[in-house]
Structure 1
């Protein structure tokens, strides 16, 4: 009897210890990441895709968030799943095998529980991070004195270690992760940058954005556009710059008017900018110069010319980089950063431009002719094409072909929605 009683006491103590420690370490990812997928197992659905992908070998997940992100160097995909009516969880997947990795613990974001939180991926030096963010107040009490703020959960992509950062913010923010830090801005001069490795928050007052000397126009339409390894990227009416670093007028590509630079898109390590040609140039009235600049120094690396649209677009094309970093595409533009070559895929009169969506490490870009945007092309709009960037010759694909939203280690990742409005991610292995 004494022995039985002793065993029972030990069992109760063990249970109490387990309950006491469960959930106390918010930095640890879940130890039960879900059922793993068998590598090479056939996915549930066989889509019509380019010949580069084998639909008999791959993986598929269902019910994921509208957004997903990829750690480029490791091939890990991160996405959000809904746990219940108000809570979400970040989960990871190995794009090569389809096996689940770590999963974060459920949490309740700020704001509307019907909407998924924001999701970002970024790199700082040799480390990859995933970031979820939301905006609002801690409660619905109208008498509370606490202001609104941006709440960020920053995860180390390698093991899921998490830290939470809260930044007071008065208005609806714009949150981006195209550089080595998370940028929170109002779209104008107010900004805050969160370092993903330390959680440190840094701000630069609007009056200290380092407007270049001799550029009075730079003080008009001033806006913080992104984060580089050397600080904020800022633009004005007649140029762009990194405070205390470089100024676009000193970094204009050959043939460009030095006072005309406009940053169009920022990726990790590069700035895509649009320039007008110098007055008197043969095609100054009809064509613009698009250049890829090194973000750290502002040095122009490669350029291409595109016909100027009759009406300025509402938004500039967003740059997309291949997993290995050699190729960069944006709209109808494609650049080989190693070979220092650039192309604009449009007819000589500017008609029927291609809209490129995805570029692989093998130098193949996918897109569509006649699409309104990259999102439209990925949703099936326009006529799908594949372009070998070495030759620059587009190849028409079958009208029913779906374009890959990304390629990771040769695996094509396709996002689609079924008849029940559930989002699917399907990965297909490369064709042998």
Structure 2
């Protein structure tokens, strides 16, 4: 009996020793909540998310940002991409990364916007060869007496060093903030405006009563609206015709074959204005077509034009023009312009229906969009049938149905956007290949 007890004790000791050796070999990979240990993730040189993208991009390399705000901005001088992230206490922080390598660069201080419930908007502006990232938001002051009394909060960051300047501008009503010229333009959708200098923060207010009109332009005084800023001053328009305050007048810059009294600007981007014109009376297609022209914003001179059928119903909002980073190509809706070759193309069916909606364009002369998409935003969200357009042949190439389209291209990288099931926004950078 004694020998049996000794044998059992020895066997138990061996079992305990084996268990201890087994635990030592596991090295603590088990989890405290009882889950099975997971194999360590393999390192990857590319982003974790691999979207179906056009064949001109590689998903095997690149970068990915998770949880960014809806807006981002790209510096064409430094190659930095800026985006916003939430911070505790209703604050937001501007972060930057190198668009080529994906490496983090400088970050701004966490700041509180005018409306803490929403991500601020994000813009870029250039003045005197200096580039700035600008975040802006609008909200009501705590001591506001009127429901229309608001203020616009601007945080202006030097792109190179990340230094921030805070500017707050009192405003009445709903503001529109753009940066198509050397300043930050705040407007009310009519003729009241203010321009903020990004270098020193100085605010110049221009009331509707101070607007001057071109001589002999009765239409300019009807539905007067500030449309943007150019290097020569504010761009304004009336029910017809448009002009730069203290600068050029559309009547003297009508494209060949257009009625000089019919110009209407539909979109303004830095350095360029896209305008709609009526053909001269008596022209063969005057009753059925309109002329679309890209103008140089500094001089007003036409750069490239194309004719399209008049829509059956005029849209309430015209498509926003999008320009390639080098400035050589411009797209808007079903319009495409090669500005270096001074050529335009209208993608439409024989009955005048638009064939597609273009949403982005690259320096390599390729535009991306979708058939049956209502606008560029729907095309970029995966709606419609994705297509690629070549500026060399003006041909349309259908892409696989699930293809995600680049929103922009910077320094050889396409920037893509995707929202996961947790409603988190992913910004992805995939390099262009070939």
When normalised by structure 1's length, the TM-score is 0.87
In structure 1, distance between residues paired with 2:110 and 2:195: 25
Deviation sequence 1:138-191 (CA, Å, 0-9, x none) = 43x5679xx632111111111111111121112221111122211111100110
Asked if the contact 2:334/2:354 (under 8 Å) is kept, the reply is: no
1:6 paired residue number: none
C-alpha distance in 1 between matches for 2:53 and 2:424: 20
Q: How many equivalent pairs are there?
A: 389
Deviation at 1:221, TM superposition (A): 0.5
Query: Does residue 1:231 correspond to 2:214, yes or no?
Result: no
- The answer on whether the counterparts of 2:195 and 2:204 sit within 8 Å (CA) in structure 1 is yes
Aligned position for 1:77: 81
Q: In the alignment, does 2:67 pair up with 1:63?
A: yes
The residue that corresponds to 1:119 in the other structure is 122
Q: CA deviation at 1:137?
A: 4.0
Cα offset for 1:345?
1.2
CA distance in 2, matches of 1:64, 1:239: 41
The aligned runs of 1:29-428 (5 Å cut-off) are 41-111=45-115, 113-139=116-142, 141=143, 148-428=150-430
Residue 232 of structure 1 deviates from its aligned partner by 0.4
Call closer, same or farther: CA 1:217–1:142 in 2, change over 3 Å: closer
What SS does the corresponding residue of 2:61 show, helix, strand or coil?
strand
Q: Can you list the C-alpha shifts for 1:215-269, whole angstroms capped at 9, x where unaligned?
A: 1121110011110111100001121001221111111000111111000111110
Structure 1 contact 345–353 (Cα < 8 Å) conserved: yes
Partner of 2:13: none
Q: Which residue of 2 aligns with 1:32?
A: none
CA-CA distance at 1:431 after TM superposition: 2.0
- CA displacement, residues 375-419 of structure 1 (integer Å, 9 cap, x when unaligned): 000011111111110110011111111111111112111101000
- Tell me, which stretches of 5 or more residues in structure 2 are unaligned? 1-43
Per-residue deviation, 1:70:
1.3
Q: Secondary structure at the match of 1:169?
A: strand
Q: Which residue number in structure 2 is paired with residue 35 of structure 1?
A: none
- Give the 3 Å change call, closer, same or farther, for CA 72–214 of structure 1 in structure 2: same
Instruction: Give SS of 1:377's match.
Output: helix
Displacement of 1:352 in angstroms is 4.2
- Aligned mates of 1:142, 1:266 — CA distance in 2: 33
SS at match of 1:106: coil
Say which is worse superposed, 374-383 or 69-78, in terms of deviation: 69-78
CA distance in structure 1 between the partners assigned to 2:223 and 2:65 by the alignment: 44
Q: C-alpha displacement at 1:304, in angstroms?
A: 0.8
Once the two structures are TM-superposed, the CA of residue 309 in structure 1 deviates from its matched residue by 0.4
Contact 1:209 1:234 in 2 (8 A): no
In structure 2, C-alpha distance between the alignment counterparts of 1:310 and 1:74, rounded to whole Å: 45
- Structure 1 residue 198, shift from structure 2 partner: 2.1
How far did residue 114 of structure 1 move?
1.9
Q: Counterparts of 2:413 and 2:157 in 1: how far apart (Å)?
A: 24
Give the deviation of 1:125 after TM superposition.
Answer: 3.7
Asked if the contact 1:266–1:272 (Cα under 8 Å) also holds between the matched residues in 2, the reply is yes
Greater shift, 362-371 or 203-212, is seen at 203-212
Unaligned segments of structure 1, at least 5 residues: 1-39
Q: Which runs of 4+ in 1 moved over 6 A?
A: none
